[in-house]
Amino acid sequence: MKKTYMGIPREDIPWCPIIDTSKCTACGLCAEFCPNGVFEMGAEVMTVKNPMNCVVGCDKCATECPVAAISFPDKAQLLKWIEEGREKAKQSTTEKK
């Protein structure tokens, strides 16, 4: 079953952490904090292994990073993606009728 958020396919909402590899110290605190398996240790730094496992709108792992290596898209952009996704879903439903 495909993951959805507010009726929008999760893959249509590109909300996930972005790791600044020049800052990451590979401490692993982000992976310890996140219960959804988003992060994985890469060769030298943490990586975002499962971006679609990130809870839409959650950015709490960024506050756990001691070197501020984690960022997220702007919340205003998130609201725009949700609005567009809901409109698209509404149009899809209307076309099926």
pLDDT in tens, 35-60: 999 999 999 999 999 999 999 999 99
Mean local confidence (pLDDT), 62-83 = 97
Q: What residue spans define the domains of the chain?
A: 9-92
The structure's pTM equals: 0.87
Q: Which residue has the higher pLDDT, 15 or 88?
A: 15
Mean local confidence (pLDDT), 24-45 = 96
Determine what percent of the chain is predicted with pLDDT higher than 90.
Answer: 86
Residues in the chain: 97
User: Residue-wise over 71-87: b if at least 16 C-beta within 10 A, else e?
Assistant: ebbeeeebeebbeebee
Give the Cα separation of 23 and 54 in Å (integer). 21
Give the CATH number of domain 9-92; options: 2.60.120.340, 3.20.20.70, 3.30.70.20, 1.10.3720.10: 3.30.70.20
- Residue of 97, 90, 49, 57 whose CA lies nearest to 73: 57
